[in-house]
Each structure stands twice: as C-alpha cells, then as structure tokens.
Structure 1
C-alpha cells in the first residue's frame, strides 16, 4: 500500500510540472509538499483526496490567468454598442460595472461590478424582441431586399438597440456574479460552479484595486482536472460511468430535431439552463450534434445565415464551422493556448465542433422537443 502511495506521489509531481513560463511552476514544490504531508496524516477516500489536492492549488497558478485585459461593460451602455464592442474585441462576455461615484466605493469589489453578461444572451434577446416588433425589420425575414446584420436590425428598431445593458437584468440575462481572488483555490472555484448551475464564468479580481484581471471558466477547470489523470484517487472517480452520477433525467434535456429550423433551435437555446441544445436525428433519435451559446457569434459573421435562420435546418447549421482551419475537437490540448487570453474568446479553435458531440454509450434519446 505504501509503495502504491509513493508511486502516486511521483505521478503527482509529474502532473504539477509545467513549462517554465507558467506560474504553476513556482507553486509546484509547495503544492506537492503540502499535499503529501497532509496525506500522510489522513486515510482518505478518492473524493476527499481530490478535494484536498484542489485545495492546494491557488488560482494564481493557473496558466495565463492574467494574460489578457478584461473588457468591461457599463450598466448605462446601449445593447447595440455592447454587442458591437464584445464582437470587435473577440470576447464572449464581460462584467458589468455600475455607474457610481468613485468616492462612495468602500473597497468592496461588488460595489463596482453588479453582474456579468454574455454576447450570446444579448444577441438572442435582440432577435426575439425584433421578431415581436410590429414592423419586420431587415434581417428578421420580413423584407425581400437582401439580408441585414444584427446591427442593422437594431438600428431599425431603436427601442431594442438603445435599451440599456442595466435594463436587461429584468429579463434575467445577467449571469450570477461570484468573483474570486488570486489566493483562492481551485477547489473554491469548483464549489461555485457546482453549486450554481447557471454559473459559466468566475471573474478573478485583484484585491489591491478591485479590478477584474481574468476569468476562470468551466472548461478551464475541467482541463486542469484532467491534468490529474494517472493519479489513483483521480482515476477511480474519472473511470465511473456517467450513469452513476445523479444528473438530471433526460426529460429535462433541451433538444431539437435536426430538420427543424435554426430559428427554433435559437429560441430553445435562449431558455436553456445549461447553454446548449442537443441536435437529434428524427429517424433514429441519435444525437448528431449540439448548438451552444458560444456558437451564436456565427450569426454575426454571416448575415445571410442570420436572415435565413427560419429556413436553414439546424442539422445543416451544425456543419457550418466544420471546415475551419486548425480546428481541434479533441479534449487534449495545449494548456497555454487554452488559458492564455483565450478563456472568453469568441473565435476559439480549441472549442469542440458542433457536429462532434460527446455522448454516453446510450445513443438514443426518448424525449421529444
């Protein structure tokens, strides 16, 4: 047993080794040392061992956590301008800063930032609001002359385009906002993500000036967890089948048949609690792909696709990015590329393709859209 533990410790040291430009290198000795010391005094089950391991990894050791300036939105910003800014900056979301007198800030981060909003949420909201408009605007499918962009649609409907970002809180478009600090641990982030199902992004702030300096995403946490592969106590958890975990039953899965329109899929996506809709083959009920909030930006890059969303089948849409150069749908990727400035990138070649879904061994779904 002792020999097995020592081999496990040596594997742990290998896990913590990263290229020298990563800050995790500076932490690896203390992380390994403290972790090994704690284990010597505890007989831990795999779950507790993993928890202890994660609680020894500070957020500051995540590669590239401070490599990119944080784009901010103001609660007084207009929706059209906010969408344009995030699109131009190639970021999928931003924290929302409240309009306050600097002299009234008493040193709490929450006094400055009041929420987080993503580009996809604003685009989906704008599309649905434009659909409700008494007069169809360019890009909604009501015109016969060409296809308008999302920005053209918002110009044609100033009530929507000129709406303030702060007002969208009433439409539940703001995501939960739970900031963390560099000296918090990865386990703390994992608890936040697991306890708040709508939470996709955790902002990281600097205690000294209360400014946002980066983000930790769900995907980043998963990739870091995968670095524990090879450790006995981690593999005993990772090797379990998905059916052994108490996920929500399939009656609550958001899905759409591949022959339905993209517009219908977008409508379902807007109401999705997890930000993804499974695309299912109508004949054999097998999952053939998925459409995620992170894919909505494609509508901003293709005005024709935006205008034809009521006639384009979602099964066709999921192949839109298949021909992207350098696209890598595998789960094993370079950590530096994953974390360095790319956590919130719209155009991200490391994101799995829409037509390459991850499924369980149970290929058929019995629920209907």
Structure 2
C-alpha cells in the first residue's frame, strides 16, 4: 500500500507536513487545540499555494455592473478585487483597491431594483447614485409583500439588465455593499492563524494577500481552498487526531433544525432570493410542502444564472423554486451527512463536491442541522484573548450573526 511518504506531495500536503513538524516541537503541556493554534501562528500566509490557474483577475472601479458580471462569468469566478482607476500609479495597495465585488453583492443590488418603487430607467447620474445608496441599506428593509410578485408575469430580469440603470451603474457606485470597507487584506508575513480566523469567526469568504513591495494582490485565499488544504492533510498525525472525531465531539452542527432558514418548493424563487438577502445568508434548503425533508438547495450565488442567461426566465416573478432547480440542475445537488459522520469525512465530501454547506439529516432525510465551511474552520482554531489588537481599526465588519 502506498504511504503518504511514498506519494508525490501536493503543495497543500506540504503545508500539512510543515504543521506536523511544528506539532512535534510544541510545549507538551499545551492542549491539542492550543498546539494547532501555535503551529498555524508560525506559518506565514505567503506559504499558501497559489490557485492552479494563478490568474490575477481585477475589475476596474469604472466598469459597469454589466461588464463586471461578464468578467466574473467569463473566468468562472464569484468575486474579484476592484482597482480604483483614480489612484495614482505609485499608490500603496490600501489606496489602489477599494474592495472585492461579488456576484452576491451585485445580486443584492439587482434584488433591490425589483422593488415596485425602484426606477427602471434613470435620467441622470443622480438617480443611479440614489439607487446604489438604497441598495447599501437594503439589508435593513422589512420583509417585502411578495403576493403580487408571485403572480405578476413578464420578462422582469431581461428588462432590468437591458435597462440604462444596469448598464450605467458603476462598480464603485455600489462599493458601500462591499463586505469590508476600506479594503481589508493580509500582508505576506501575516500568519495562517490570522487568515483562518478571518475566514471563520470574522465571516470573510476570501482573504486577499498583498505584496507590499509591488503594492498588488499576491494571492486570494478562499474558504474552499483551505478545506482542500485540510483534505490533502489526510494521513498526518495532527490532522487524523482531529479529523477522526465525530461531528458531535467537536460541537457540530452549530445550526439546529429550528434555526435553519428554508423555503418550500412551491414558493416563488424571487422569495427565496429575497429571504437570503434579508436574513444575510448564502443559501437555503428547499423543503417539500408539509414535511421537513430537503429536496434541493439554492444559493445567493445562483442569481448569476439570472444575470448571465435571463432569457431562460420569461416569467421570473412567477417561476417557483422547484422550476428554478429544474432549469439550473447544479443547484439541486443537495449534499447531506449523518450525525455520526467524522470531521475528516465531512471535509472530504466538501472538497470533492466543491460545495459550501452540508445538511445533517436523519435516516428518513429530515433536517437535523447545517454545517458550513466556516463552521469547520472555526472548530480547527480559536482566537486568543486580545489577538487582533488594533488590526481592525478603520474597517467595518459584517453585522452579527451573518452566515453568508
């Protein structure tokens, strides 16, 4: 049988070996959890492998939302850093970038334009700015009356993305919706521990790493990339001692059945997207009417299909969640596990399927909990008292309890 020592090691596995070496020299009185913290604190983020493509995709701040969507779709990515076109050539990285724009952020803007009072054809830049300003506070709105939306028909999304509002609104106009403002990034010398805490406790989905000398982004570390790194560490002592534990032993799932926000398959898909926006979550399970069995999953990222292929949805406001899952089959791949699943098995499932969340179910398929990538990382490390100090000075975190 081929052992890990005999097999070619991936860049991610080499990181695991580095943790293994550090594990062996930690103070013996430390708990396993404190040992892991100390190991990750000793590794700089510059050691994290670059993405396979190593493509540096950036979006200019004067690009329109329509142009940004095309760039994201072309490169099959969900987010990209935004470069301030007005920054001088010798600007530092903190002045060069204004944030990271995501499909999800554009989705929030799009959904806010679906309000009956939203202008569809602005006559001036002032209207565009006003629409963008309304979008930045959209998360604070009360739930909408979707009764009329469920029965109205028409080429809603086709009309919206062909409008002057969509074509003329610049990425910088919606910068208030960016996850952190101003741009938050790590330096190459910052530690893995800092990066892992930002991706878990501090609810960032990706962490840019900047090269101070060049004043540019050197790498973007995502939650899925960290999960892949952990999957590649299978067989190592430090990983197995943690990964062989059952979910309940590490306190998972964090979200109980009563806390799971869900939609029924016969509800309009518009309601599903607006529910995600209002609750500040990235996805919801689709449930059979009259039961608690999950039959699919829909995420805020799926709104990209409405932005890139709106001709599919000629009756957008009337289409149900079930119909949407039929048209976009990739979203219906509901991934589940049982309570007796191990952390290692869960990580391998997430990595293999390239998904962001897994639903815990009983033998009959009824929901018993929800686990996200962030939940797993949060069980790997913990934040020491006073660890960040003034690290967050000048940045604005997400509202509490956000699970996007």
Q: TM-score, normalised by structure 1?
A: 0.71
Rounded to whole Å, the distance in 1 between the matches of 2:170 and 2:28 is 54
User: How far did residue 308 of structure 1 move?
Assistant: 2.7
Rounded to whole Å, the distance in 1 between the matches of 2:350 and 2:289 is 37
Q: Which residue of 1 aligns with 2:348?
A: 332
Q: Which residue of 1 aligns with 2:31?
A: 45
User: How far did residue 192 of structure 1 move?
Assistant: 0.7
Alignment pair present for 1:295 and 2:302:
yes
Q: How many residues align?
A: 321
Q: Which residue of 1 aligns with 2:273?
A: 266
Runs (5+) with no aligned partner, structure 2: 122-148, 336-345, 370-404
Rounded to whole Å, the distance in 2 between the matches of 1:208 and 1:312 is 51
Please point out which of 29, 45, 48 is paired with 1:59: 45
Alignment pair present for 1:192 and 2:205:
no
Q: Which residue of 2 aligns with 1:342?
A: none
User: How far did residue 305 of structure 1 move?
Assistant: 3.4
User: How far did residue 160 of structure 1 move?
Assistant: 3.9
Q: TM-score, normalised by structure 2?
A: 0.65
- Cα 1:103–1:246, aligned 2, differ >3 Å: closer, same or farther? same
On the 8 A contact 2:40/2:192 being kept in 1, the answer is: yes
Q: Which residue of 2 aligns with 1:115?
A: 99
C-alpha distance after superposition, 1:32-72 (max 9, x if no partner): 4333122xx32232322332343344434444437422222
Q: Which residue of 2 aligns with 1:3?
A: none
Alignment pair present for 1:98 and 2:84:
yes
Alignment pair present for 1:178 and 2:184:
yes
On the 8 A contact 2:263/2:286 being kept in 1, the answer is: yes
Q: Which residue of 1 aligns with 2:161?
A: 154
Please point out which of 225, 229, 235 is paired with 2:230: 225
Rounded to whole Å, the distance in 1 between the matches of 2:273 and 2:28 is 50
User: How far did residue 333 of structure 1 move?
Assistant: 7.6
Rounded to whole Å, the distance in 2 between the matches of 1:255 and 1:28 is 37
Rounded to whole Å, the distance in 1 between the matches of 2:334 and 2:368 is 27
SS in 2 for 1:202: strand
SS in 2 for 1:132: coil
SS in 2 for 1:221: helix
User: How far did residue 180 of structure 1 move?
Assistant: 2.1
Q: Which residue of 2 aligns with 1:33?
A: 21
Kindly report the root-mean-square deviation, in angstroms, between the aligned alpha carbons of the 2 structures. Answer: 3.9
Rounded to whole Å, the distance in 1 between the matches of 2:56 and 2:85 is 18
Alignment pair present for 1:358 and 2:359:
yes
On the 8 A contact 1:19/1:25 being kept in 2, the answer is: no
- Cα 1:102–1:239, aligned 2, differ >3 Å: closer, same or farther? same
User: How far did residue 266 of structure 1 move?
Assistant: 1.5
SS in 1 for 2:284: strand
Alignment pair present for 1:212 and 2:217:
yes
User: How far did residue 214 of structure 1 move?
Assistant: 2.8
